[in-house]
Amino acid sequence: MRDVAVIGVGMTKWGELWEKSLRTIFVETALLALDDAGVDRIDSMYVGSMSSGLFVGQEHIASLLADYLGQAPVPSARVETACASGGLALRLGFMEVASGMSDVVLVSGIEKMTDVNGYEATYALGTAADQEYEGYHGITFPGLYALIARAHMEKYGTTREQLALVAVKNHLNGSKNPLAQYPFKITVDSVLNSVMVADPLRILDCSPITDGAAAVILCPIETARKMNKPVVKIIGSGHATDSIALSSRKDITWLEATYQAGKRAYAMANKKPKDIDILEVHDCFTIAEICVIEALGIVEKGKGGEAAENEITYLEGKIPVNTSGGLKAKGHPVGATGVAQVIEIVKQLRGEAGKRQVKDSRIGMAQNMGGSGGSTVVHIFERE
């Protein structure tokens, strides 16, 4: 198996992109990634997208986007595993280069979510839950994560203020990211006094509805070394699934798929949690970040609520988490999120993260999660 590097990244500002179509957003980011990589051809491409049919009425986007990028007839595939679609697209691209089937692969993620109203967006996102045992009874993802949050608070003593501090930290990081949807700071009081969505979660505990895309270029490590730029290698990849419905799990405060995917990525990379310098995780809700860092072994089980409170996960902390602003501030165009996480890690390892740069970062991790944790993809990266 060949070693694989990320040689190009591309992303534009996320938000409510009314004036742009799905194909336009994709092409803009893909061209940025190709330009950053310094290549003008690809052997194949993968597109992570959760629900383009429900959001914009367009399926078969693998063909559409390859055509509009001017890359047909290259093989192109759309990848879907809910909000982890982008992360899984990266894993498939990584496997294709590692196997030797292709030398240059474009991996992208895309979602155009604001072309529908709030009800329709909620319905589309809700298809990532168990439709018979959760959706049929009217629960939404804020409700599911509220159940996780309440259980975590009861079991471990996690406080409402600790949840708020996750949002405060990520907005502080997002205020330093010019591509973030919400690049502004918030306070604990503003979180606690924001509109209630599903007790105990308020609107500022929740990631937004977002339009956006992200793209990266992968190639063999030998090719990357000839390009006279910092080389970022993918050294670990893990993927796992769990019960889609919370009611089927033994402990709804524990993300088993994240634990298993992380375990596999750590083993492949020959690394441990203490080796990670920087981490991007799937903070679709503030409680999600708390549960993810526990499942990845960054903190002990039940101690995730204390991490932001004690500034362990701040830019200057022991293990900076979501330096991009996370899903909370950067935005969450569901199919694109996993690829954007990789872009942040690559920028950090290259030393190109600007005001949010973490000093001397050499090993980074990205964790991308679908639904309420029914699927997770984890990747580990190292700068040579």
Q: Which residues are catalytic?
A: 83, 332
Listing DSSP states for 28-54 in one string gives HHHHHHHHHHT-S--SEEEEE-S-HHH
Six-digit token string for 198: 């599903």
Look up residue 136 and give its DSSP letter: G
Q: Is 237 helix (H, G, I), strand (E, B) or coil?
A: strand
| Helical pair 61-68 and 22-37, crossing angle rounded to 10 deg | 60
Cα separation, 179 vs 186, in Å, equals 18
3-state secondary structure of 9: strand
Do residues 291 and 148 make contact, with C-beta atoms less than 8 angstroms apart?
Answer: yes
CA dist 365 and 266 (Å) reads 10
199-215 b/e (C-beta count within 10 Å ≥ 16 → b)? ebbbebbbbbbbbbbbb
Measured between alpha carbons, how far is 86 from 342 in angstroms, rounded to an integer? 10
Phi and psi for 238 in degrees, rounded to 5? -140, 145
Q: What is the DSSP string of 79-95?
A: E-BTBTHHHHHHHHHHH
The helix/strand/coil state of 16 is: coil
Q: Which residues touch 222 (CB under 8 Å, ≥6 apart)?
A: none
Tell me the β-bridge partners of 248: none
| Residues 6 or more apart in contact with residue 155 via CB below 8 angstroms | 253, 302
300, with CB counted inside 10 A (0-12, 13-18, 19+), is: exposed
Q: Tell me the backbone φ, ψ of residue 232, rounded to 5 degrees.
A: -115, 115
Q: Are 284 and 138 in contact (CB under 8 A)?
A: no
